[in-house]
Structures are given as C-alpha cells and as structure tokens.
Structure 1
Amino acid sequence: MSPDNSKRAYRKQLLLASLLVTAGLVMSGLSLIGIRAQNSQQMAQATPPTQSSPPENQNKPAESKPGGERPTTPPPEPARPDTQPQTQGAPPVLPPAPAEKIAPPIKEK
C-alpha cells in the first residue's frame, strides 16, 4: 500500500468515527430534550400504599388459665434410648478396602 492510500484510508476511518460520535451526541441531546419536555412532577411508586384492616379476633391464641390441665391425646411416654446402638457403635460409612489396596504399616524412624 502506498503512503497516499494509507493516508486516504486513515482519513476515511477518522471521518467515519467522527460521524458516529457526532450522531451519538445528537441522539443523546434529543433524548435529554425529550425528557425535560415531559412533566417533571410525575412520581413513580412501585407498590400501592398498604391498607390497614381491622384486627381479627380469630387469630388470637386461647387464653391461658392458671392451674389448668394440658390436653394430651396420646399420653406422654418417658424417653428410653435404645441400648443396642450404644453397644454396637456407628456402622462404617464405606465398605472395607480390598486387600491389594491396603498398605503396610508405617515404620517409625
């Protein structure tokens, strides 16, 4: 490529870039003018205000009476832990390794 052609290509690219930047600035300016032309007193509200409702008597817990009895449909039983799991211990998580995978014990130095 000769120097004249490279200068010409550079100028074309620079002109194109300048036109694109100018077009972007014009679009931004027109958008800002459109925003300012709208009524600036508008307010956005994400959710409507909550309306208070009268309290409901059904949601209240029952009144407690001193000395009253607790209703127990199934009779309570004392906790009795199983003695068998205590003597056996926990089951192993993994099965034992095959014999060829077990290494000899480490010797102390």
Structure 2
Amino acid sequence: MLLASMLIAAGLGISALALTVLSTSGPLQIAQATQPTQSTPGAETKPSAPSEPATTGQRPSDIPPQPARPDEDAQKAGAQPALPPAPAEKIAPPIREK
C-alpha cells in the first residue's frame, strides 16, 4: 500500500512539474514542413470533381456466379474446386443418460 501511494505521489509530482514547465514557456511556435498547396492555373474553368456515375443498383449479369465446389460431373470433366475440401467434423460419442 505504501508503494502504491508513493507511485501515485511521484506521478502527481511529475505531472505538476510538466504543467509548470509548459505554463512558463513562451508562446507555442508551430512549424510547417511543407508549403501550403496552391491552386492549379486555370482551376476556375475546370470542374472540381467528375460527375457521379449512374448506377442501376443491380449486380452485373454478364458473368454468372460460379459455385465454390463444382458438381460431380464437372469435377469428372476436369473442373477444379475453388476451395480445398472441408475438414471432417469431429463428433463426440452421444452423452449417456444416468
């Protein structure tokens, strides 16, 4: 308990010291690493952003979705599955009633 109270007192002391150093220092000086951005010549005549594309809200229908695992006939014809086979499920023996 004594150690905890000493640590809290030390933290408060360091915080008070930092606040006094900050308050006694002069006004803050902020440096800017890069020059401010300038306007492109002729920017007033050009549009600022491209217009929004018109969307229909529908999925594209030119490419049908493919199943992750092709049916057996397609696999026999040489189609490769997109995903590896799923691991076998681990099944525990049924719980016996007492």
TM-score, normalised on structure 2? 0.36
| Bigger radius of gyration | 1
TM-score, normalised on structure 1? 0.33
